[in-house]
Amino acid sequence: MIEPIDVPAVMLKLDTLAAGLDTLSKELGDAERLRAVAEDAYEDFIDSYVAGLYEASENKRLPGEDVRRSLAHKAMPPELLGQYRTLTRRAERLRRRISDVKTQVDAHRSILSALKTELEASR
């Protein structure tokens, strides 16, 4: 059965979506702050590891960037790598979810606009 579309129902759904978007945005802010700290530690470890590789190489050519990063990951404490990856993925998931909710908001705004146009035409 198709539910009738009316202005109060659309407005209620928009309010719900807006509240959800607010919550998601705050979660993303928190995740980004945590990720920034983890990213600093991650990048510091990689930089130190590459510097150590260079010193150990006795000025010989270093392996490519991807190999250096893989070697650094292998030597990195699992907690650091895990935290960095977890927080990075969480932020990405939140960004995708926010984008999905924004699409829903746009759809409901379009419905509201169509209802307004229909109401004005019927006057």
**Per-residue pLDDT at 1:** 58
Q: How far apart are CA 92 and CA 107, in angstroms?
A: 23
pTM equals 0.79
Segments making up each domain of the chain, as ranges: 7-117
Mean pLDDT for 116-122 is: 83
In this prediction, residues 66-73 reach a mean pLDDT of 94
Q: 116 vs 104, which has greater pLDDT?
A: 104
Distance CA 44, CA 67 (A): 17
Average pLDDT of the segment spanning 54-69: 86
